[in-house]
Structure formats: structure tokens, C-alpha cells
């Protein structure tokens, strides 16, 4: 399983770029804010009944490493 470390960076003008080689993947997931947060009080209460919030996630799926290397020296 891969690491959960962020592999996407953001530039000064809010452009996104990959920090390593791979495929950029955009996903949307249902977002449920914590019950006692300010988002719940300010945003959720104003939505119509049955509305669903989605949050967009941008990730980089790294390319598979070939696993071949050249041994230079042995300690």
C-alpha cells in the first residue's frame, strides 16, 4: 500500500502540479463535516433537505518502479 503523503503541490497562482512521476487522479467523495464544527452550523443548516456535499480530492498515483538496479558495492 502506498504512503498517504501528499504528492501534489500548489503554485503561487493556485496551479496544481505533481511532485513525482505518475497519473493525476481527481475523485469526488461525499463530505460529512464534524457535527460540532462551524461548517455544520453555518453551511449545512442552510442546505435543502436531502442535499449532499461533495469534496474533490486530487492525488498522484505513482508509476510502478521496475525494481531493477545495479549493485555498485557491497558493505
Domain that holds residue 29: 8-62
Neighbours of 50 (CB within 10 A): 5
Does the residue 40 lie in any domain?
yes
What's the first-to-final CA gap in the chain, in angstroms? 30
Cα angle vertex 23, ends 60, 62, to 5°?
60
Does the residue 67 lie in any domain?
no
What is the tens place of the pLDDT at every residue in 26-72?
A: 899 998 888 888 888 888 888 898 898 899 988 888 887 777 777 88
**Count of structural domains within the chain:** 1
Decide: pTM greater than 0.85. no
**CATH code assigned at 17:** 2.40.50.100
Does the residue 30 lie in any domain?
yes
Does the residue 28 lie in any domain?
yes
Partners of 57 in beta bridges: 27
Does the residue 75 lie in any domain?
no
Cα–Cα distance, 4 to 57 (Å, whole number): 13
Does the residue 3 lie in any domain?
no
User: Is the distance from CB of 30 to CB of 8 less than 8 angstroms?
Assistant: no
Does the residue 22 lie in any domain?
yes
What pLDDT is stored for residue 1 in this prediction? 45
Amino acid at each position: 500500500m502506498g504512503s498517504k503523503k501528499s504528492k501534489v503541490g500548489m503554485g503561487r497562482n493556485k496551479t496544481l502540479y505533481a511532485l513525482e512521476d505518475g497519473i493525476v487522479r481527481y475523485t469526488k467523495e461525499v463530505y460529512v463535516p464534524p457535527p460540532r464544527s462551524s461548517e455544520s452550523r453555518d453551511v449545512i443548516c442552510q442546505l435543502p433537505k436531502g442535499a449532499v456535499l461533495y469534496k474533490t480530492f486530487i492525488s498522484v498515483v505513482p508509476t510502478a518502479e521496475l525494481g531493477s538496479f545495479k549493485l555498485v558495492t557491497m558493505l
